[in-house]
């Protein structure tokens, strides 16, 4: 009989999701029922949106007290009662923050494990990472050659790919991120045209300097004061794309709206939000194109991996303190 080690929610976080809100327990797995498969989870995706699932109410699916934290993962089937879902098959799905997931195949997707690491299926090729960036840029933001394209949380998973796609599409890309290490990463490793360190620079002043004629497209992952600073610097007929607002996730009952939103009227501009699942028809094409870029080496998706399921709570806190460059993952086993 296998044993599963899982991370459960023990207390609803206030502000930060600190490690004392979680506990890690090991339980014996029950016998597999007909129609189920058992998966050994290899990598767990750490996602900003998970913080909004810990409240008990909201837009995203919610985690109940005592329940396993919801999370995307990749792994391999170790036991199966279902034809066509054989032992050894690599799979991706909502496996949860645990080492062994017992699920129905309809919750899973088979993945190709012949090229590269399985972790790429959560990062560059993952629905809540690369595919979200692709949809946000290609289907919503639609930058044109020469456009000034600004992206926030630019050194993180979604932001770093969004900026690279906009650059491929001919935009002039400016990333906003926290700290000099991230500024150097954006310009030197990812090839962005410029970067702003929002922790140590005046974002509004730097945007005026870097984009004196205004910003055409803003891909926002952060919200709050950064969104306001960009709104204040929009060009005429600009597009502001709301992908996320991580600065607000710690207190979703008191979200701070943009005080500069009237710039949209002044500059005949639009603001549009999206989630990747609003574009189901684009998930396949996005994954296929991202795979091509990953294979030819033209897409950079760095990964930061914390080893051990018990480090999942630490990983979530690490992300919210801005520790990660690229995709943050936990290696479960």
Residues in contact with ligand NAP by the rule CB under 6 A: 47-49, 128-129, 132, 153, 155-159, 177-179, 182, 221-222, 243-247, 274-276, 319-320, 322, 324, 328
Q: Are 146 and 213 in contact (CB under 8 A)?
A: no
Q: How far is the CB of 311 from ligand NAP (least distance, A)?
A: 16
Helix H, strand E, coil C: the string for 12-51 is CCECECCHHHEEEEEEECCCCCCCCEEEEEEEEECCHHHH
Q: Tell which residue, 171, 112, 107, has the closest CA to residue 137.
A: 171
Q: Tell which residue, 55, 57, 68, 63, has the closest CA to residue 25.
A: 68
Q: How far is the CB of 274 from ligand NAP (least distance, A)?
A: 6
Q: How far is the CB of 256 from ligand NAP (least distance, A)?
A: 11
Tokens describing residue 108: 């899973």
- Which residue, 108 or 140, has its beta carbon nearer to ligand NAP? 140
Q: How far apart are CA 61 and CA 135, in angstroms?
A: 21
- Which residue, 182 or 206, has its beta carbon nearer to ligand NAP? 182
- Which residue, 79 or 304, has its beta carbon nearer to ligand NAP? 304
Q: Are 111 and 95 in contact (CB under 8 A)?
A: no
- Which residue, 105 or 123, has its beta carbon nearer to ligand NAP? 123
Q: How far is the CB of 85 from ligand NAP (least distance, A)?
A: 27
Q: How far is the CB of 182 from ligand NAP (least distance, A)?
A: 6
- Which residue, 100 or 231, has its beta carbon nearer to ligand NAP? 231
Q: How far is the CB of 148 from ligand NAP (least distance, A)?
A: 20
Q: How far apart are CA 132 and CA 144, in angstroms?
A: 19
- Which residue, 75 or 322, has its beta carbon nearer to ligand NAP? 322
Query: Is the C-alpha dihedral spanning 229, 132, 114, 93 positive or negative?
Result: positive
Q: How far is CA 78 from CA 17, 41, 71, in A?
A: 32, 10, 20
Tokens describing residue 206: 């730097």
């Amino acid at each position: 009989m296998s044993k599963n080690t899982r991370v459960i929610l023990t207390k609803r976080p206030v502000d930060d999701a600190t490690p004392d809100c979680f506990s890690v327990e090991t339980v014996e797995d029950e016998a597999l029922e007909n129609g189920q498969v058992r998966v050994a989870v290899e990598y767990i995706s750490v996602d900003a949106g998970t913080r909004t699932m810990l409240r008990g109410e909201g837009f995203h699916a919610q985690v109940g007290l005592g329940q396993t934290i919801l999370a995307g993962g990749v792994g391999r089937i170790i036991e199966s009662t279902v034809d066509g879902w054989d032992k050894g098959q690599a799979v991706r799905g909502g496996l949860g923050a645990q080492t062994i997931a017992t699920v129905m195949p309809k919750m899973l997707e088979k993945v190709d494990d012949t090229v590269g690491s399985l972790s790429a299926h959560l990062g560059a090729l993952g629905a809540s990472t690369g595919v979200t960036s692709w949809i946000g840029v290609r289907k919503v933001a639609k930058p044109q050659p020469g456009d000034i394209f600004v992206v926030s949380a630019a050194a993180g998973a979604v932001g770093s790919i969004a900026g690279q796609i906009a650059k491929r599409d001919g935009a002039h890309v400016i990333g906003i991120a926290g700290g000099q290490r991230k500024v150097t990463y954006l310009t030197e490793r990812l090839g962005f045209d410029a970067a702003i360190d929002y922790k140590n620079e005046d974002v509004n002043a730097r945007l005026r300097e870097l984009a004196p004629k205004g910003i055409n497209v803003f891909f926002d992952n952060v919200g709050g004061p950064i969104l306001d600073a960009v709104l204040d610097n929009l060009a005429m007929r600009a597009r502001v794309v709301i992908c996320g607002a991580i600065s607000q996730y710690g207190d979703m009952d008191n979200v701070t709206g943009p005080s500069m939103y009237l710039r949209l009227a002044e500059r005949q501009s639009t603001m549009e939000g999206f989630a990747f699942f609003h574009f189901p028809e684009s998930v396949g094409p996005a994954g296929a194109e991202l795979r091509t870029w990953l294979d030819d080496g033209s897409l950079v998706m760095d990964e930061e991996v914390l080893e051990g399921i018990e480090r999942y709570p630490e990983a979530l806190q690490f992300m919210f303190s801005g520790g990660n460059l690229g995709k943050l993952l936990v290696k479960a086993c």
